[in-house]
Structure 1
Amino acid sequence: MYDKTDLRSALAPAAAAKPAASRLFDAEYGLFYKESPAEDDANGRTWYTRGQNFIIAYSEAKPGAVFERTGQVDEFMLLIPYADTPAELSASDQRETMPGYALAIIPPGDSRIVLPEGGTIVRIFTTRSDDLVARCANAAGYAEQHTNIPPLVDWPAPVGGFRIRVYSLDVAPQPGRFGRIWRSTNMMVNIPSAQTGPRDATKVSPHHHDDFEQCSLALEGQWAHHMRWPWSVDMNDWRDDVHAEVDSPSVTVIPAQVIHTSTWHSAGRNQLVDIFSPPRADFSKQPGWVLNADEYPAP
């Protein structure tokens, strides 16, 4: 359900909600602003939170920090949300200088990220990276496969093969295009424009996703994630609505089938990033919405 001014109202009408899964699941949270980091070392501080298919690694890096992956099983993304955080990237024989305020897709295999000036970075992996799964503070929430989410299946390989690809976030809004969306073979990131001041409570967007989670990464501002669980045939499994109030930085993982919408409340800047794994087919079908669709074919 979207307000008529919300561009997502252009999506194909959602089918009626599927019957609630035989087992419902809780939302998951990574409250980085108050939780202890999983790593606190020469590179800085890093927190890890996961969903069924994805891992968010949020780092406050020190100058000279180096983040390496050896034998990485699949692509991952690097989000640098601020302009004062340049990075030096390498993978195989490719070298790239990445400015701040940009997104990179890093290929499988060996790679290296160097942050000469430190700063805030977000790396987004799939849960195929077993070593990182073990570092997630909420690992117990996924001790078993969530039954309403199918196994992760990659989309087609990129045109020209796997390599480092860097995209500036400095993309001007365009009429008819929702947010700033990029996809890889295994995930999709949507970075809407930052909002100043609280959200208009008369124009919210309650909706649900039948078979995938939504990861909402709050980078700036105060947020409330409003969630309503469907009823199953077992009243013992019914749940009260949740209105989760979180500060930044934080991650909220919204379960499949749960009706949800988010509101922002700070008088200043409010910035949220939404992450999905695998990429969303409905967003991908909208002409012009996925900014690198010419490089990453849809199935």
Structure 2
Amino acid sequence: MYGKNDLRASLAPSAEKVAMTPFKPASYGRFYEEMPVEESELASTWLTRGQNLIVAYSAVRSGAVLARSGQIDEYAVVLPDAGLSVEITAGGQTETAHGPCVAFIPPGDSSVRALGDGGLYRLITTRSADLAARCANAGDFATPDLNVPEFTPWPDPVGGWRIRVYSGDVPSQPGRFGRIYRCTTIMVNLTSGRAGPRDPADLSPHHHDDFEQYSIATAGEFIHHLRWPWTGNSAHWLEDQHAYCAAPSVAVIPPPATHTSQGMSTGLNRLADVFCPPRHDFSAREGWVLNAADYPAPDPAP
């Protein structure tokens, strides 16, 4: 059940689905305690994957360049904090993005040049096999998750491919959940976070039938609580998890695990929740996706 005052409680319940078995356990990237998979004088990069998405976290210094050559599909750059700006170049276009923001980068050749010091995230589908193979947790996905359907991109953007930058400073609004942006491959919810520990009597356990959630801790500390359903075959049962993840980190939460995240720090606790491909239920809510005019949703299934 969602906690009191949680706007997600208003989402229409999905039709009952029978999950495939066995279930996948959650997978974690704790970038603050792991060795980077790429390191240079100006940037260190960590890679963690799920079934559909790679989360690439980079700690950068001014002048660092993160490039993609022949990128197969659209990807995202997330600057979670004010104070870091980047210069993005792709398709003959150059744009400057100032944090906090999310930027969507078209397929093909592109580069992201840091204009200061800080941390940033690139969100790239696992169709980029060169990165998927280098993820620290690649072994967790040597066998595909049968509960996650095959990835299908959403329709092309209105007006064609180009760099699109969206602010993370949009004021909150009653009745709207977070700051949600989508592209053809990814949906990002930039939340404001919460100051101080979350009330343990006001959590929001819920599950997703057939899509992953990538909960990226951009500030603070969290306990990710997860529980898997019991089936008639006890060999498929998994132990509950109460996984500690500080920032920067990502928790890859598989379906159909019931889950909720509990902020623990006395300071700011902030998550960015990511889905690949975008969520239909969030997209169906009027006004929730702030850039819906730029990225159409697929036609409803007949």
State whether TM-score is above 0.5.
Answer: yes
RMSD after superposition: 1.1
Percent identity, aligned pairs only, is 53
The reply on whether 1:113 has 2:112 as its aligned counterpart is: yes
**Aligned partner of 2:69: which letter?**
T
Alignment of 1:243-262 (within 5 A): 243-262=242-261
* CA deviation string 1:11-45 (max 9, x = no partner): 002444x3342211110010111111111112311
Distance 1:117 1:248 in 2: 20
**Aligned partner of 1:157: which letter?**
D
| 3-state SS of 2:282 partner | helix
Q: Higher mean Cα deviation, 99-108 or 46-55?
A: 99-108
Q: Which residue of 1 aligns with 2:37?
A: 38
* CA deviation string 1:236-288 (max 9, x = no partner): 22122111112111111111100111110111111111111010000000110
**Deviation, structure 1 residue 118:** 3.0
Distance 1:90 1:104 in 2: 11
* CA deviation string 1:68-109 (max 9, x = no partner): 111100000000112211111111211112122111000000
Alignment of 1:215-254 (within 5 A): 215-254=214-253
Distance 1:290 1:257 in 2: 24
Q: Which residue of 1 aligns with 2:57?
A: 58
Distance 2:105 2:290 in 1: 17
**Deviation, structure 1 residue 54:** 0.3
| 3-state SS of 2:217 partner | strand
**Deviation, structure 1 residue 187:** 1.0
Distance 1:186 1:209 in 2: 18
Distance 1:209 1:81 in 2: 25
Q: Which runs of 4+ in 1 moved over 4 A?
A: none
Unaligned runs of 5+ in 1: none
| 3-state SS of 1:297 partner | coil
Distance 2:192 2:15 in 1: 29
Q: Which residue of 2 aligns with 1:280?
A: 279
Asked if the contact 1:215–1:252 (Cα under 8 Å) also holds between the matched residues in 2, the reply is: yes
| 3-state SS of 1:190 partner | strand
| 3-state SS of 1:113 partner | strand
| 3-state SS of 1:132 partner | helix
Q: Higher mean Cα deviation, 18-27 or 187-196?
A: 18-27
| 3-state SS of 2:281 partner | helix
The reply on whether 1:13 has 2:13 as its aligned counterpart is: yes
Asked if the contact 1:104–1:166 (Cα under 8 Å) also holds between the matched residues in 2, the reply is: yes
Instruction: Give the TM-score normalised by the residue count of structure 1.
Output: 0.97
Q: Which residue of 2 aligns with 1:183?
A: 182
Unaligned runs of 5+ in 2: none
Instruction: Give the TM-score normalised by the residue count of structure 2.
Output: 0.96
| 3-state SS of 1:282 partner | helix
Asked if the contact 1:21–1:232 (Cα under 8 Å) also holds between the matched residues in 2, the reply is: no
Asked if the contact 2:224–2:244 (Cα under 8 Å) also holds between the matched residues in 1, the reply is: yes
Asked if the contact 2:65–2:111 (Cα under 8 Å) also holds between the matched residues in 1, the reply is: yes
